[in-house]
Each structure stands twice: as C-alpha cells, then as structure tokens.
Amino acid sequence: MLTIIEPEHGLTKSQKFRPDLKNVEDFKEEIKIEMLNSVLYASDDVIKSMAEFVENPDYNNYIKSATAMRQDLWNRKTKIGNEILKKFAIKKYNNYNFLN
C-alpha cells in the first residue's frame, strides 16, 4: 500500500520481493485482489477501509486500513491508533491533515 502512495520510495524495494509487479498499476491491481480475498476472513471495517484505499490511495486511507487491520488481528480495541500511526508518515507529509 505504501508503494502506491510513495512509489519513488517503495517501488524498487518492493520489486525485490515481488519482481512480477513492474509498476504502480500492478501494485494497485494486487491490492484490489487482496481486498477481494479479504472478504473471506477480514472484518467489515478492514474490507471497507481497503475499499476506501483502492478508491483513493492516500496516507489517510492507509492509516484507516492499518488501524482496522490491527483491531481485526488482535480481536480487541487497540491503543495504537491513528494519532500514533500518522507519526510514521514520510517527512514530506508531516503537515498532511490526517483523519480530519
């Protein structure tokens, strides 16, 4: 997901693990496939947040997806939420308005 948002930072690194994914469009298609696969096992919040990311891939929707996935994995509310996860954004996005 981060490769889609910041291809100049992630594309080369990601291709080391997935050489079949040649460009950002390939990564977008892979995320769509993973979203469809998640229907089998993920919570409604994860599926919804991934669909939002597919529609509008930005840090805001990435963080929503990450938060939903964490909550789904641990089957409980997590104390690590949007306010913490947004601190991991790449520096040039430090002033980005996360989760209004």
Higher pLDDT pick, 94 / 41 = 41
CB atoms within 10 A of CB 11: 17
Q: What residues contact residue 46 under an 8 Å CB cut-off, 6+ apart?
A: 38, 65, 68, 69, 72
> Where are the domains positioned within the chain?
2-13+24-93
CB atoms within 10 A of CB 31: 18
Higher pLDDT pick, 91 / 75 = 75
Q: Is the pLDDT of residue 89 over 70?
A: no
Residue 89, both tokens: 């954004």
Give the whole-angstrom CA distance, residue 29 versus residue 67.
Answer: 22
What is the pLDDT, as a whole number, of residue 29? Answer: 94
**Total residue count of the chain as it appears in this document:** 100
Q: Does the reported pTM lie above 0.85?
A: no
